[in-house]
């Protein structure tokens, strides 16, 4: 349905870590928002003019072994959702222990 996903990541360290997970993703994941255009409330890849999806992620709380993160997705003026993730550090890897939909519109 979408030709590409854009992930708005603020920090270089986060970008490097997340890139490891999405190297072979289909559709591809691009970090940053330089190639996004919003036309009539719809997210588009400005190079191809094809539909895209924009994700942003915020860390809510974090300790040495637990964290909460919120992932927001936007595709069109009236289409988006937010997921809350609870993560635990296990064997030096962050693992999602719980996921739930926070809101959908």
Read off the pTM.
Answer: 0.71
Half-sphere exposure of 104 toward its Cβ, with a 13 Å CA cutoff? 2
- Summarised one tens digit per residue, pLDDT across range 1-28 is 889 999 988 778 778 877 887 888 899 9
- Summarised one tens digit per residue, pLDDT across range 58-98 is 888 889 999 998 888 887 776 778 889 999 999 988 889 99
- The pLDDT value given to residue 69: 87
**Which domain, by its residues, includes 78?**
4-104
> Considering its fold, how many domains does the chain have in total?
1
For every residue of the chain, DSSP letters joined together read --SEEEEE---HHHHHHHHHHHTT-SS-EEESSTTEEEETTEEEETTT--BEEEEEEEEEEE-SSEEEEEEEEEEETTEEEEEEEEEEEETTEEEEEEEEEEEE-
Q: How far apart are CA 55 and CA 65, in angstroms?
A: 25
């Amino acid at each position: 349905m979408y030709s590409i996903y854009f992930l708005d990541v603020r920090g270089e360290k986060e970008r490097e870590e997340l890139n490891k997970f999405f190297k072979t993703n289909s559709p591809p994941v691009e970090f940053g928002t330089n190639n996004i255009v919003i036309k009539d409330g719809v997210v588009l890849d400005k190079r191809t003019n094809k539909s895209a999806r924009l994700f942003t992620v915020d860390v809510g709380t974090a300790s040495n072994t637990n964290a909460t993160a919120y992932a927001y997705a936007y595709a069109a003026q009236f289409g988006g959702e937010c997921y809350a993730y609870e993560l635990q550090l296990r064997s030096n890897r962050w693992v999602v222990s719980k996921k739930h939909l926070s809101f959908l519109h």
